[in-house]
Each structure stands twice: as structure tokens, then as C-alpha cells.
């Protein structure tokens, strides 16, 4: 769209009559008196005539000059140094309560720990039978499809096996594999939680006496319970109190374990499984802990489920 022509305020050029008559502009000037242009006061004169506006402008200028000088005189910010960063980190560590290694290990493994119960029939009368608990132990999920490792002695004589996951879901389970020489059984749960997590397993090749460990399980059915200790020794041999079985290449540990811990995980402070708790030693033949527990290395336990070693 074309813009309309803009015209200046100057007088138009004088037009002459083609017949040699008097110019039109001159005739108009002779007939109409010319009025002198009206002068307009300047902005400064208007400000002077209105003192309150003048002082407002002056005040604004003074404020701007003050801010400018303040910014110019302010010292430049000192750049952060590594010493400053170290001091800040140290201050944070001194004032913040961090969770203990045992707490972090427990939180890492607990989603994979299950309660294992062996059930059998108990007669109340001639035709009345109820399921009763014959054994209570622990298991650990090693595959998120519901594959669980536990001790064989926990489920060997059970007519029905029930597992309870960390979120409270209960399910029946079936034995899919056994390794009698290491007292291990592999279970398959019939139902599993939607967000089931499998435990992380870790090689035992670089373990050493003194390494911290955590045992998680259901001692006497109470739990889940956690106890902390250290690895006491490696490649230990254990013979069952009845003398019917002897196991070798075991991890000895001193984290408290009792009946019901059987089949539970022995984990590092990172929450990684290094063994399956399988036995406790008591020279008095009592089923209580005196500081000596044994676990099957996870390499042996994983092979029971057909999983390759590390």
C-alpha cells in the first residue's frame, strides 16, 4: 500500500498567470494581511515555570549519578578458589547427618529380600486339616521374573511354599532347582510385584577378612531384620550338627544370624550380594548365635540357578 504524500508547512511556489497578469501569490498577499508567527516557550522555560517538575528532574539525575559512583567504587568479586570449595564441602560434612554405610546397604538390598515359609498339613480332626508353618526362612530375588535363592533345608519338607515380597505381596512358589552340596534351592514365585527388583551380585574374589558386611533376613520369623559385622575368614569348612553334611569354601562372618536368617543375603556396604547365609556354629548344639556364621559364596549360589559365574 502506497503511503500518502507528506507535505511540508512551507508556502507553495508562486504561480504566474500565463497571460502576463499579476502573480496570484502577490494578489493574495495584497488582499490578506500577514500575521506574525506565534512564538512557543521552550521545554526549559516550561520546567522553570513549574518548580516541582524541575526539582523532580534534578533529583532523578542525582540518584542516577549516586548509583553510578556506587557501582564504580564497589570492589570486584573475588573468584572462587579450590580452598573455598574444600572449606564449603567440609562445612557441609560437619553440619549434615549422612546415613551410615549399613543404612545404605539395607536400603539397596531390601526390595529384593523375601520371607519364605514352608507349610504342611496339621490334622485338627479326622476330616479337618489346616496349613501350618513347618519352617521359616529368607530368600533373595536374583532375577526380576521371580527367581529366588534360599536354603534347601528351609523348603525341603514343605508341602506348600509361600513367599512374601518386600511390598507385602504373597505368592505360592515352586522349587525349580536344588544344589544339595551347598544346601541351596531355587524357587519360582507364581505371582510377582510389578516393580520387582533383583539383587545385584558381586564377585567374592577380592574379599578379605575385616571387610564390612550386612546380613538381612527373618530371624525366628521376625523382620526384615538387619545385622552388621565383618568377614571373619574365607574358605571355611562346616559340618552340620548331626554330621550328615559337610560344606566347604564358605565365608565366615560375625554379623548376628539365627534360625530364620537361613537363605538370606550377605551383602557388602554397597548392598551387593556376596553370599547366601546358610549356617551358624555353636559347639553346645544350641540354635543360637555365638558370633560364627557361614555363607555360601554367591558364585556357587548363582550356579544353582544356572547363572554363569563372574
183 an active-site residue? yes
Angle at 158 between CA 152 and CA 161, to 5 degrees: 85
262 an active-site residue? yes
Beta strands in 152-245 (DSSP E): 160-164, 170-179, 184-189, 212-217, 225-239
Q: Kindly list the distances between the CA atom of residue 28 and the CA atoms of 23, 24, 173, 204, 278, in Å, as whole numbers in the listed order.
A: 9, 6, 118, 117, 125
User: Is 289:254 a contact under the CB 8 Å cutoff?
Assistant: no
Name the catalytic one among 112, 135, 225, 262.
262
SS3 153: helix
Rounded to a whole number of angstroms, the distance between the first and last alpha carbons of the chain is: 81
Q: How many Cβ atoms are within 10 Å of 186's Cβ, its own excluded? A: 25
Name the catalytic one among 183, 225, 232, 254.
183
Name the catalytic one among 153, 171, 232, 254.
153
> Mind telling me the catalytic residues?
153, 183, 262
Amino acid at each position: 500500500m502506497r503511503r500518502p504524500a507528506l507535505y511540508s508547512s512551507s508556502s507553495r511556489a508562486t504561480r504566474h498567470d500565463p497571460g502576463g497578469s499579476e502573480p496570484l501569490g502577490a494578489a493574495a498577499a495584497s488582499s490578506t494581511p500577514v500575521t506574525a508567527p506565534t512564538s512557543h516557550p521552550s521545554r526549559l522555560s516550561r520546567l522553570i515555570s513549574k518548580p516541582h517538575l524541575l526539582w523532580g528532574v534534578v533529583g532523578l539525575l542525582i540518584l542516577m549519578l549516586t548509583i553510578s559512583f556506587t557501582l564504580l567504587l564497589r570492589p570486584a568479586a573475588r573468584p572462587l578458589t579450590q580452598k573455598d570449595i574444600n572449606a564449603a564441602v567440609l562445612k557441609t560434612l560437619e553440619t549434615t547427618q549422612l546415613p551410615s554405610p549399613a543404612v545404605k546397604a539395607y536400603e539397596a538390598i531390601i526390595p529384593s529380600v523375601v520371607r519364605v515359609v514352608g507349610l504342611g498339613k496339621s490334622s485338627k480332626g479326622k476330616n479337618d486339616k489346616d496349613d501350618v508353618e513347618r519352617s521359616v526362612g529368607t530368600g533373595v530375588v536374583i532375577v526380576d521374573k521371580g527367581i529366588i535363592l534360599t536354603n534347601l533345608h528351609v523348603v525341603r519338607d514343605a508341602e506348600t511354599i509361600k513367599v512374601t515380597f518386600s511390598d507385602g505381596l504373597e505368592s505360592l512358589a515352586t522349587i525349580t532347582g536344588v544344589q544339595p552340596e551347598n544346601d541351596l534351592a531355587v524357587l519360582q514365585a507364581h505371582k510377582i510385584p510389578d516393580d520387582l527388583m533383583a539383587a545385584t551380585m558381586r564377585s567374592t574374589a577380592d574379599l578379605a577378612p575385616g571387610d564390612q558386611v550386612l546380613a538381612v533376613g527373618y530371624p525366628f520369623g521376625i523382620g526384615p531384620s538387619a545385622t552388621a559385622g565383618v568377614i571373619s575368614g574365607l574358605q571355611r569348612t562346616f559340618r552340620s550338627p548331626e554330621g550328615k553334611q559337610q560344606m566347604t569354601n564358605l565365608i565366615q562372618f560375625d554379623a548376628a544370624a539365627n534360625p530364620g536368617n537361613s537363605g538370606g543375603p550377605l551383602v557388602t556396604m554397597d548392598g551387593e550380594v556376596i553370599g547366601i547365609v546358610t549356617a551358624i556354629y555353636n559347639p553346645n548344639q544350641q540354635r543360637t548365635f555365638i558370633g560364627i556364621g557361614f555363607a555360601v559364596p554367591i558364585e556357587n549360589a548363582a550356579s544353582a540357578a544356572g547363572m554363569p559365574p563372574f
